[in-house]
Structure 1
Amino acid sequence: MNELQFETSPYLLQHANNPVHWKAWNPKSLELAKETNKLIIVSVGYSACHWCHVMEHETFEDTAAAAVMNRSFINIKVDREERPDIDAVYMKAVQIMTGRGGWPMNVVCLPDGRPVWGGTYFRKEEWMDTLEQLQQLYLSAPEKMLDYAEKLHQGINAISLVQQPDNNANFDADNLKALVEKWKKSFDWEFGGYSRAPKFMMPCNYSFLLRYAYQEKDSELSEFVNLTLTRMAYGGLFDTVGGGFSRYSVDMKWHVPHFEKMLYDNGQLVSLYSEAYRLTHNPLYKKTIEKTLSFISKELTAPNGGFYSALDADSLTTQGHLEEGAYYVWNKEELRTIVGEDFELFAIVFNINDFGYWENGNYVLIQSESLETIAQRFNLEVIELQNKKENWEKLLYASRKKRKKPRLDDKCLTSWNALMLKGFVDAYKAIGNESYLNIALKNADFIIENLWTSEGNLLHNHKNEKNTINGYLEDYCFVIEAFISLYETTLDGKWLQNSRQLTDYCFDHFYEPASGFFTFTSDIDTALITKHYELEDNVIVASNSAMANNLYKLGIYFENSYYEAVAQKMLNHILPNIDYPSAFSNWLHAFLNFSDSNKELAVCGENALENILLLQKEYLPNVVLAGTHKPSELPFLKARFEKGKDLFYLCQNKTCEQPLEDIISILNAIKC
């Protein structure tokens, strides 16, 4: 029977009525494979995945395909968002076997879990034929399968190991400059991003490049980052009508997205645009932040303060068929009716032409010029065109609300919640909207009350008041980072204490002194076929690089030399081996933290919070901020408070200058 009806994952529940006898990944399912000596099918996907839906409809809903699967295999469905550990391990196997990866991911394994075959999306006939051949081989020549499984397992273990650098290897500012120059060769100078399609947003890349350009006064690089952020905000990757970013665009110009909207993308992008707004004060960035957070508040926020995971790529058409992007696209006559007499101007702003055309008579709204340029061409005031654009978007939003919404993945994941929490905090720093801070604080309380146990460990998921999975390193590193950010904004020391407590738990249950890194799974969890160390930054930064950045800050706040030494050791292992910098941008961010340009600032006095908030409106990526409005026991702030005075202590390499007493002077000192 299909056992997914007993699960809480929206993705698993989507498959609960398949004729396939699906099981969830658990000890009982794995033991059954061993007892019956059956091969295992591990099928991994996620609820917002378009091609996962296609394979389900074509294959997993088909009785003939289900019969082949049920007859000879133990069939296990995995939600990659709930079990990123399983996904990571078997993705390595698929990449070794095929040279590529993606979702859905399908792997056939021996009864002990070692993979022997795999790939991504398969058409029904190919899937059935392959399964029957594999089953026949397993019955007739199992030794061949066992031999292949052993060799593949060795390969998985080999790429899972942390490579130790050459003892003589070193990394310095010249190495970094050379990497950035090499990086520039992959840039798309017309539309931003990289010169390839599909285009993923990679917010950690642009966060680092923004900082590097600022600190090195590289105007060309700064121009490129702003080109990228502007083009992404122009749409159609960005939903200008309802707010929020889709996961990636299938083309070079950020136009036609893969329409699912993921919480983790939007959390990181709000942080990125907030950083860029603090530097440039570009009103487009502010509007992008505000629209995105409005979308999160309306569509992905639970009553208890948690954030839901995603909206599906597919939605119902007027004919009742699931279709990718149906909720978001428009035909010309529909737009003409909604917009009315302003349609010709609307069509220029949003490219209802060949540039904005998608397929089947549908358009995806996208700007290609600034409103200032268009207003000048038509002898309009910019504010007039801005008002028109806002009015058009309201009309479209009202019309779109009548359509069937994409399906909601309403599980709450700790790591993604923390990324979105930090996004709200960063937006508050940049814009000053107090509701953003209140939402962040409510989410932090949700995490503490629902996802942090009395035994000290975090839990990974929450749905229907249930938590079923122990936390991964990604949960800890992003919660620690979010809590540090809350401290920087509120000066409430409890957030630092929480961060330190979670960090020490990571050292107890994730850290491996021999390798110098943190494993992805806790030592209290059942081991998989190999260990996983998350080292490369991707659409989400690697949990180890996030930990390195956290340890740097916590080492300063608590004057903890061990934290600092571990972060340095991690960097020394990673940096000399970097070949393609886009996969290590958050590590490079950590390298800049340890450079001579980084500073620490203690803000002490009765007006400390007000002064901190003023400072945070500035883009100061190379400054670690701390503050107090009363005597503090935090080591970095101890004995620095003097009643009746506002004091600013600027420090570098554990050496502090004489305190200054006004904010203008300290800003000048920071920037000199």
Structure 2
Amino acid sequence: MNQLSQETSPYLLQHANNPVHWKAWNANSLAEAKEKNSLIIISIGYSACHWCHVMEHESFEDQEVADVMNKNFVNIKVDREERPDVDAVYMKAVQIMIRRGGWPLNVVTLPDGRPIWGGTYFRKEEWMQTLGQLQEVYQSNPDKVIDYAERLHEGIQSLNIIENLKSGTSVNQEDLTLLVEKWKEEFDLEFGGMSRSPKFMMPNNYQFLLRFAFQKKDMNLFDFVNLTLTRMAYGGVFDTVDGGFSRYSVDNKWHVPHFEKMLYDNGQLVSLYSDAYKLTQNPLYKEVVIKTLSFVERELMNAENGFYCALDADSLNTENHLEEGAFYVWKIPELKTIIGDDFELFSQVFNINTFGLWEDGNYVLIQNKSLKDIAELNHIKVSSLEKKKIFWEKILYLKREKRSKPRLDDKCLTSWNAIMLKGFVDAYKALEDKNYLKLALQNANFIIKNLWSSEGNLYHNYKNKKSTINGYLEDYCFVIAAFISLYEVTFDEKWLQKAKQLTDYSLEHFYDETSGFFAFTSNLDEALISSHFETEDNVIPASNSVMGKNLFQLSIYFNNSYYEKVSQRMLQNIISFIEYPSAYSNWMDLALNYSEQNKELAICGDSALEYCHKINSFYFPNVVLAGAKKVSNLPFLKDRFVADQTLFYLCQNKTCQTPDSDFQEIITNLI
């Protein structure tokens, strides 16, 4: 057993019995490398990563490989979810070296941490041969290795340089239109998403495109977003039996997923489908939200109201071997036994045919026709088929529960919990299920109690009643966004005050005045080989773009011009240099806040919360909402309460209309 046995991360603990002398990333491990003048192997992955498991089995569990690694290297294992800062720096290095990245991420560095070589997955022989060559070169010609490391280090640092305009130019809304037109060239008009595989859900992309289509009245774009959401919900990437989305689809039709289920995906997708339901009233979207939240509450929620990270892609098959997707797939004989006389109809709904076949006789359930079309084809009522589908899914769920379940990553991450918290709030807005708000509030209190220290900083991780890692910008930005969303449904100003407190802490410990952006790590943390400014939106929006949106909204609530200045400066320094819209969709969403369509609405009076719920049931992405049932000192609401009346204050561009008591008139003016 190696030093990883002392860790709490499920991923690190998976490697605790490897013959490799693994150490965790910490000051002692790094100091040992310097003291011995040894090269460092930094191997980065996460618990739900299939190819991480494969490389572990082929190489890290092998004594021959371990002997090579232990003899000449200091070996450090990193959970990328616990240490996204370390992952980001070395991912940049690998992308510079081989023009791609992924996990497992394996890097060899000098004793001071500067990388000299790296890649992703390696087979045993290639791994051993490369390590031998690197050690030989380092011993025989260290100057050559150090020179390469210096040049690579310069390249890594250059990626952090963002041209700083420091200008007061306004956001040109036409630029957004041009970017969207360019983006449309990548659309898959048959299956939705982008015309490529694998396909990631990228929920923030579709949050922005849905809003853009709504505000610009672009029906073709609106139809494309609906196509995408429908195809994702139909696809095997969505677990129709138990709810929840897998991480991505390996094919172009959303059929066969990479089967791990991540908390951050499901939190964002609940928000997306909730918004789409408000706009369309499509029952499929409602079904997706309800099933996904049921899955999260059942499988990913702990007794303290925190949310776990993920379910693994791998599970034990009938031969008791770990196999990707074993828990989720079906074979025809088993389905015939379970479904019985309805098997033919079931096969039409879920494509137990060549369209739904994966491999080795395994089927991943996928729809490609609506129940209405299938019902008409079979001369039965749609309601009858809907009931059958519900029944089929229930008996498949009961049967599947007898299988060996995927492994659980049972740590809690602050940023991901906040994303899921906001998902519950957005679902509450759309469906008005009070249980969703209750769970959101419980999780918010879990964060406050366990992940927010008395010194004012957030922690990043929590497990076994311990938090050990200082929070990153992603933790602050998503908790702030989640607390703002709680205010939007409760009008409880404590959530805004807590959001402001975290924002001010972020400005003090993360904001870099020179660049105009927030660093990913606190200035209280020990520096890595390169600082990191997260500006590109990915499967999770960039922490800087989320902070930009938070600052915009808080600047209105607190009439804080500095918040607005920081937000606008960040946006202006990004928007002019966007080449790939999909990597900046959350920035583009922030840019829409500066359009003429953006409005603020204050509701003051005894019925404020009642009207709040009504407003939240509409899709108004362009409205900043506030309100109070009594006198409020919140700057945006100050002097707006009038006893025995409920008044609406509609504002635009910091100019407010005359207070109005006619709710329907307000709705008309918001549309």
User: TM-score, with normalisation over the residues of structure 2?
Assistant: 0.99
Asked if the contact 2:46/2:81 (under 8 Å) is kept, the reply is yes
- 1:168/1:147 Cα in 2 relative to 1: closer, same or farther (>3 Å)? farther
Q: Does 1:266 align with 2:266?
A: yes
Counterpart position of 1:62: 62
Paired residues in the alignment total 671
Query: Residues of 1 paired with 2:604 and 2:224: CA distance?
Result: 38
CA RMSD between the two structures: 1.0
Counterpart position of 1:74: 74
Counterpart position of 2:481: 481
SS in 2 for 1:40: strand
Query: Residues of 2 paired with 1:332 and 1:166: CA distance?
Result: 63
SS in 1 for 2:584: helix
Counterpart position of 2:641: 641
After TM superposition, the structure 1 = structure 2 runs for residues 465-614 of structure 1, keeping only pairs within 5 Å, are 465-614=465-614
What per-residue deviation string (whole Å, max 9, x for no partner) do you get for residues 238-292 of structure 1? 0000100000000000000000000000000000000100100100000000000
Query: Shift in Å at residue 228 of structure 1?
Result: 0.2
Query: Shift in Å at residue 595 of structure 1?
Result: 1.4
Query: Residues of 2 paired with 1:13 and 1:230: CA distance?
Result: 39
Counterpart position of 2:51: 51
Query: Shift in Å at residue 163 of structure 1?
Result: 2.6
Query: Residues of 2 paired with 1:474 and 1:81: CA distance?
Result: 11
Asked if the contact 2:166/2:569 (under 8 Å) is kept, the reply is no
Query: Shift in Å at residue 659 of structure 1?
Result: 1.4
Q: Does 1:356 align with 2:356?
A: yes
Query: Residues of 2 paired with 1:663 and 1:67: CA distance?
Result: 74
The code of the aligned residue for 1:620 comes to F
Query: Shift in Å at residue 166 of structure 1?
Result: 9.6
Query: Residues of 2 paired with 1:24 and 1:633: CA distance?
Result: 49
Asked if the contact 2:171/2:591 (under 8 Å) is kept, the reply is no
Query: Shift in Å at residue 162 of structure 1?
Result: 2.1
Query: Residues of 2 paired with 1:64 and 1:194: CA distance?
Result: 44
The code of the aligned residue for 1:222 comes to F
SS in 2 for 1:323: strand
Query: Shift in Å at residue 100 of structure 1?
Result: 0.1
After TM superposition, the structure 1 = structure 2 runs for residues 264-343 of structure 1, keeping only pairs within 5 Å, are 264-343=264-343
The code of the aligned residue for 1:282 comes to N
Asked if the contact 1:165/1:577 (under 8 Å) is kept, the reply is no
Asked if the contact 1:171/1:576 (under 8 Å) is kept, the reply is no
What per-residue deviation string (whole Å, max 9, x for no partner) do you get for residues 175-223 of structure 1? 1111100000000000000000000000000000000000000000000
Query: Shift in Å at residue 169 of structure 1?
Result: 8.2
Query: Shift in Å at residue 489 of structure 1?
Result: 0.3
Query: Shift in Å at residue 168 of structure 1?
Result: 10
Asked if the contact 1:165/1:576 (under 8 Å) is kept, the reply is no
Query: Residues of 1 paired with 2:423 and 2:102: CA distance?
Result: 27
Query: Shift in Å at residue 377 of structure 1?
Result: 1.3
Query: Residues of 1 paired with 2:169 and 2:151: CA distance?
Result: 31
Query: Shift in Å at residue 226 of structure 1?
Result: 0.3
Query: Residues of 1 paired with 2:163 and 2:98: CA distance?
Result: 23
Asked if the contact 1:169/1:576 (under 8 Å) is kept, the reply is no
SS in 2 for 1:330: coil
> Any unmatched runs of 5+ in structure 2?
none
Query: Residues of 2 paired with 1:199 and 1:166: CA distance?
Result: 37
The alignment-based identity, stated in percent, is 67
The code of the aligned residue for 2:44 comes to V
Query: Residues of 2 paired with 1:104 and 1:386: CA distance?
Result: 42
- 1:626/1:168 Cα in 2 relative to 1: closer, same or farther (>3 Å)? closer
- Consecutive aligned runs of 4 or more in structure 1 exceeding 3 Å deviation: 165-171
Counterpart position of 2:15: 15
Counterpart position of 1:443: 443
Query: Shift in Å at residue 414 of structure 1?
Result: 0.0
SS in 2 for 1:556: helix
The code of the aligned residue for 1:644 comes to D
Q: Does 1:147 align with 2:164?
A: no
SS in 2 for 1:649: strand
The code of the aligned residue for 2:263 comes to L
What per-residue deviation string (whole Å, max 9, x for no partner) do you get for residues 574-599 of structure 1? 00000010000000000001111100
Query: Shift in Å at residue 173 of structure 1?
Result: 1.6
Counterpart position of 2:365: 365
SS in 2 for 1:544: helix
Counterpart position of 2:664: 664
User: TM-score, with normalisation over the residues of structure 1?
Assistant: 0.99
Query: Residues of 1 paired with 2:170 and 2:670: CA distance?
Result: 29
After TM superposition, the structure 1 = structure 2 runs for residues 87-102 of structure 1, keeping only pairs within 5 Å, are 87-102=87-102
SS in 2 for 1:577: coil
Query: Shift in Å at residue 235 of structure 1?
Result: 2.1
Query: Residues of 1 paired with 2:165 and 2:608: CA distance?
Result: 44
Counterpart position of 1:127: 127
What per-residue deviation string (whole Å, max 9, x for no partner) do you get for residues 418-447 of structure 1? 000000000000000000000000000000
* More off after superposition, 147-156 vs 160-169: 160-169
Query: Residues of 2 paired with 1:376 and 1:165: CA distance?
Result: 60
SS in 1 for 2:128: helix
Query: Shift in Å at residue 372 of structure 1?
Result: 1.1
Query: Shift in Å at residue 662 of structure 1?
Result: 2.5
What per-residue deviation string (whole Å, max 9, x for no partner) do you get for residues 86-130 of structure 1? 000000000000000000000000000000000000000000000
Query: Residues of 2 paired with 1:338 and 1:176: CA distance?
Result: 51
Counterpart position of 1:210: 210
Query: Shift in Å at residue 572 of structure 1?
Result: 0.8
Query: Residues of 1 paired with 2:447 and 2:339: CA distance?
Result: 43
> Any unmatched runs of 5+ in structure 1?
none
Query: Residues of 1 paired with 2:164 and 2:125: CA distance?
Result: 45
Asked if the contact 2:173/2:591 (under 8 Å) is kept, the reply is no
The code of the aligned residue for 1:456 comes to G
Asked if the contact 1:236/1:257 (under 8 Å) is kept, the reply is yes
The code of the aligned residue for 2:68 comes to V
Asked if the contact 1:12/1:78 (under 8 Å) is kept, the reply is yes
What per-residue deviation string (whole Å, max 9, x for no partner) do you get for residues 30-79 of structure 1? 00000000000000000000000000000000000000000000000000
Counterpart position of 1:249: 249
